[in-house]
Structure 1
Amino acid sequence: MKRKLFGVLAATTALTLALTAPAAGSTVRAAPTPAAIDAFLTKVVESTGLPGMSVVVTHNDRVIHAAGYGQGSDGRPVTADTPMRVASVSKSFTAMAVMTLVDAGKIKLDGSVAEQLPGFQLADPRATAITVRQLLDQTSGLSDTTLDINALEETTSLAQYVERLKTGALATDPGTHWAYCNVNYDLAARLVEVASGQSFDDYLKQHVFAPLGMTHSALRSEAVRPSDGYNSVFGAWLARPELPGFLDGSGSGGVITTAADMGAWLISQNGKGKPLVTPQSLRTMHTPSKVSDYGMGWSRDSDTKLLVHSGNLFTYTAVEAISPETGYGFAVMTNSASLTDDTYAVATGLFAMTQGRTPELPGGGRQTFELVLGLIGLAAIGLGILGVWRSRRWAAGRAGRPGWRVALRMVPVLLPAVVLAAYPDLISFISNGRTITWAQLTYFAAPLTITLAVAALAGVATAAMRIVRLRERKADTIPQVIPSESIRSGR
């Protein structure tokens, strides 16, 4: 009897192991522990030199790790409850607010914006065809290149913002091309106000933040006060207030939140927490448009299959990412901005850990880039001093040459000044048509701006001294004419 019972138990055990064992060729991916995540993030802060960073990692319906590293400009340690500006990560919150009203039947997703938003009008008849869906997936045809972005940033309300659009035009027909433009989401925020009868701030708080328990999140700094962020200037972090044009509580980038609150948001976005919209509406938000990989406040990364959205202000950076396939979610937020952004590299490193892979340690790019710029700036100063000192010899070597040849020799030293004059336009062009102003270039791009300004000044100083020396030499070579009276008098 015992032998028979033993045989049954052995067979049962073998069957259980066969059913639960991984298939041939498959691998078991152990979930990263909070300690492992913490160790990785501690190394990240050391390698990047970031002044402050807060991070949350979620899986299905639970938060695995939420913590802060470094400190803020107010001297306080950064924690999971430290308020952070998340910039354009706000767009996914705005899209969610719109979709709650779509589910409630108060907004028609494929209906005309002009029919649902009184006062919306452009100096372009094609604007009447823009749909709400096209605002959210950024295929409306609106572009920084055809709108007065500076005038829009001076407005004090979303209603006034819409009013200022009347002189604008579209860059393309609605629905045909993708172009990242904040105006899309500011219009969406105003649409929320009109459809709900509430301010966008109040609606977001009541219908998005509160249901998820995001008690430390808000749209304006009056409710949640983050400290000043930092800019990196040749390796040194300088605390600076955020540019005022981006503190207007807009739908494109006004959200202030914490790592702890973002945990609830990521869980909800993966369909595991409290639902804010129907499952179909959630899938709609995550589905790319027909012309790009951008959905509604989310973009699909073709390499990792993650749904992501980054955010860059001028003193804060952030990124959010979810993996619908695995149920993981990640948010990385920093109280700094520079020529390089490490937040996405940190998020993908965390994702690698969830796949059982060793994450690559980001960092070094900012330091190297700014070191090179600093060396270029010092070289420009040296060449400027040398150019001024040798200007007399330069003028002597070009005496008697045609003026056009002399002018051509001035071009190389004046080239940095020409580039500086066109600097904002060049950066705007490189940024796919996004409008970049001089004020903005003194923030995240401060090292590049300083280096270019130093090179331009050195070139102008060299050119000016060469002109002075040429004139002196010309004056010295003009023959002196003796008056005829002096000749007759014997003088």
Structure 2
Amino acid sequence: MFMALSALALFVSSYVDAASYPGVAVAITKDDQVVAVQGYGHDSGGAPVTGHTKMAIASVSKSFTALAVRQLADGGRIDLDRPVFDSRVTPRQLLGHTSGISDRSLPEKSLAQPNSPAEAVDRARDALLAAEPDGRFRYTNTNYHLAARLVELASGEKFSSYLEKHVFEPLGMTETVAIDVTPRDLPADYSRGFGYAYGFSVPLDEPDRFVAGSDGVITTAADMAKWLAAQPNLMPQDGMGWQEDSQGRLRHNGIWFTGTAGQLLTKSGYGIAVMSSSGVTLGNEGTYALENGIADVLDGRTPPEPSSYRLLIDLVLAGLTLLSLGLCVRALRRPRRFPKGWQVLRFVPLGLMLASPTVLGLLYGGRDITFFQLAHYSLPLVVWLAVSSVMNVSVAVVRWKR
């Protein structure tokens, strides 16, 4: 095991460097025993990341919400197959993302953000009543916002208090909290995560978002080790806050605009949790590869060589920005070569910029994102679209006046 842990530390360190992650924390268990808890790099304040550094686990939080619902179902206070909120949707369908609700029917990031699970239900009322559960998987945070409210109604406790009393405390997770809204409710000892652009990691606040039930758990690697060690007794299930991957392993990943995380249960009995302070960006869509690589090392396989396209993507976008700028300056200095009517094509980049949140959302399975959040996701993409839009509109206006 010592040699495996040594190889593991080398792999994670190499991956952190290749992926430009400022800070990462890892927890590993074997069956119900903690094997390793380790931090790598530094937080946004410059302090070393340790097993006790508070970090976001984003949508990995959904497995905690699902456990709370299952506890109440086991106690007879929630019927997993009985429709809720005067709709045709059942708790099981909410947890499995088969409720019929999607980011298209309720754009949960673009709409005004609720402050509590009760307000989240009010916001989702029309989408709930119109939802037709058809068994189709449509991932949306709204499902788990509603599940959080179910926990409150069934238990008579605030959702975050229920998790603290019935999940965190029994497992000894004393460094873990659940919050409702970012960044408002983040703990005082939580260090901001990072955004990434042009090869630089910059500390950023997470955008204002409602996260109760869906992605609001803040924890440490030490506490995640306790969580993973408890899984053999908690019996996690596919579609109940966990998802089965192509290899039959249970896992769930999470992305914030200022952090990424993931958890994985291997068939050989290992539990793996990873938390990174680097947010989702083009070229960093989550910690899947890191978790898979750790699993390979633990199972005696050689993991793929760590690599990342983040810097390359941003450099390409920087090149496109300079090219757009240069071409438009050149166009301004040359005589008009086409009829005025053709100048309307100069507005295409502006249209692409305005449509970019919708287009990106469609590319990611119909997910919702605001333009402000898109700038967190890829500032170089937004800069290119903005520069191209401004310059092309300027050329169109000048050419029209000549």
Q: Deviations over 1:426-449 (max 9, x none)?
A: 122222222111111111221211
- Cα deviation for residue 172 of structure 1 reads 5.7
Residue identity in the other structure for 2:176: S
Q: Deviations over 1:327-359 (max 9, x none)?
A: 111111111112222511111001111221111
Question: Does the aligned pair in 2 maintain the 1:144–1:435 contact within 8 Å?
Answer: yes
Query: Which of the two has greater helix per residue?
Result: 1
Question: Does the aligned pair in 2 maintain the 1:315–1:444 contact within 8 Å?
Answer: no
Distance, in Å, in 1 between the alignment partners of 2:265 and 2:41 is 25
Distance, in Å, in 2 between the alignment partners of 1:267 and 1:150 is 34
- Cα deviation for residue 36 of structure 1 reads 1.6
Moved more, 151-160 or 236-245: 151-160
Distance, in Å, in 2 between the alignment partners of 1:377 and 1:45 is 28
Distance, in Å, in 1 between the alignment partners of 2:323 and 2:372 is 26
The answer as to 2:318 corresponding to 1:340 is no
Distance, in Å, in 1 between the alignment partners of 2:243 and 2:101 is 19
SS of the aligned residue for 1:450 comes to helix
- Matching residue within 270, 277, 280 for 1:328: 270
* Residue equivalent to 2:310: 366
- Matching residue within 166, 180, 184 for 1:207: 166
* Residue equivalent to 1:260: 222
Question: Does the aligned pair in 2 maintain the 1:83–1:224 contact within 8 Å?
Answer: no
Q: So what's the TM-score if we normalise by structure 2? A: 0.93
* Residue equivalent to 1:317: 260
- Cα deviation for residue 151 of structure 1 reads 7.3
Distance, in Å, in 1 between the alignment partners of 2:169 and 2:347 is 58
Distance, in Å, in 2 between the alignment partners of 1:305 and 1:423 is 35
- Matching residue within 426, 431, 438 for 2:371: 438
- Cα deviation for residue 223 of structure 1 reads 4.7
Q: So what's the TM-score if we normalise by structure 1? A: 0.77
Distance, in Å, in 1 between the alignment partners of 2:307 and 2:110 is 37
Residue identity in the other structure for 1:358: T
Distance, in Å, in 2 between the alignment partners of 1:151 and 1:439 is 10
* Residue equivalent to 1:482: none
* Residue equivalent to 1:381: 325
Distance, in Å, in 1 between the alignment partners of 2:302 and 2:147 is 41
* Residue equivalent to 1:402: none
Q: Deviations over 1:347-397 (max 9, x none)?
A: 10011112211112333310111111111111111111111111xx22xx4
Which one has the largest radius of gyration? 1
* Residue equivalent to 1:241: 205
Any gaps of 5 or more consecutive residues in structure 1? 1-29, 114-119, 122-127, 288-294, 399-404, 470-491
- Matching residue within 434, 455, 479 for 2:388: 455
Question: Does the aligned pair in 1 maintain the 2:98–2:133 contact within 8 Å?
Answer: yes
The answer as to 2:135 corresponding to 1:176 is yes
* Residue equivalent to 2:108: 149
Question: Does the aligned pair in 2 maintain the 1:158–1:190 contact within 8 Å?
Answer: yes
- Matching residue within 244, 253, 258 for 1:300: 244
Moved more, 376-385 or 425-434: 425-434
Distance, in Å, in 1 between the alignment partners of 2:274 and 2:259 is 11
SS of the aligned residue for 2:13 comes to helix
* Residues 53 and 374 of structure 1: CA distance in aligned 2, closer, same or farther (over 3 Å): same
The answer as to 2:145 corresponding to 1:198 is no
* Residue equivalent to 1:351: 295
Distance, in Å, in 2 between the alignment partners of 1:365 and 1:89 is 24
* Residues 224 and 345 of structure 1: CA distance in aligned 2, closer, same or farther (over 3 Å): farther
- Cα deviation for residue 176 of structure 1 reads 2.4
Question: Does the aligned pair in 2 maintain the 1:230–1:315 contact within 8 Å?
Answer: yes
Residue identity in the other structure for 1:217: T
* Residue equivalent to 1:51: 22
Q: Deviations over 1:225-273 (max 9, x none)?
A: 3211111111111111111214x5x00010001111111111222x0xx
* Residues 53 and 379 of structure 1: CA distance in aligned 2, closer, same or farther (over 3 Å): same
- Cα deviation for residue 414 of structure 1 reads 2.7
Percent identity for Structure 1 against Structure 2: 40
Distance, in Å, in 2 between the alignment partners of 1:224 and 1:256 is 12
* Residues 320 and 171 of structure 1: CA distance in aligned 2, closer, same or farther (over 3 Å): farther
SS of the aligned residue for 2:51 comes to coil
Distance, in Å, in 2 between the alignment partners of 1:224 and 1:261 is 18
- Cα deviation for residue 412 of structure 1 reads 4.4
The answer as to 2:81 corresponding to 1:110 is yes
Residue identity in the other structure for 1:194: L
Any gaps of 5 or more consecutive residues in structure 2? 180-184
Q: Deviations over 1:58-103 (max 9, x none)?
A: 1112222211111111121111111111111110000001111111
- Matching residue within 113, 117, 123 for 1:164: 123
SS of the aligned residue for 1:207 comes to helix
- Cα deviation for residue 175 of structure 1 reads 4.0
Distance, in Å, in 2 between the alignment partners of 1:155 and 1:41 is 38
- Cα deviation for residue 147 of structure 1 reads 2.1
* Residue equivalent to 1:92: 63
Residue identity in the other structure for 1:328: Y
Residue identity in the other structure for 1:94: T
Moved more, 327-336 or 153-162: 153-162
SS of the aligned residue for 1:138 comes to coil
Residue identity in the other structure for 2:347: L
* Residues 171 and 318 of structure 1: CA distance in aligned 2, closer, same or farther (over 3 Å): farther
Question: Does the aligned pair in 2 maintain the 1:151–1:164 contact within 8 Å?
Answer: no
Residue identity in the other structure for 1:199: K
Residue identity in the other structure for 1:255: V
Moved more, 410-419 or 305-314: 410-419
Greater relative contact order (Cα < 8 A, sep 6+): 2
- Cα deviation for residue 157 of structure 1 reads 1.4
Question: Does the aligned pair in 1 maintain the 2:77–2:154 contact within 8 Å?
Answer: yes
* Residue equivalent to 1:5: none
- RMSD (Å), alpha carbons: 2.0
* Residue equivalent to 2:182: none
* Residues 177 and 150 of structure 1: CA distance in aligned 2, closer, same or farther (over 3 Å): same
SS of the aligned residue for 1:329 comes to strand
Q: Deviations over 1:29-48 (max 9, x none)?
A: x7862222111111112212
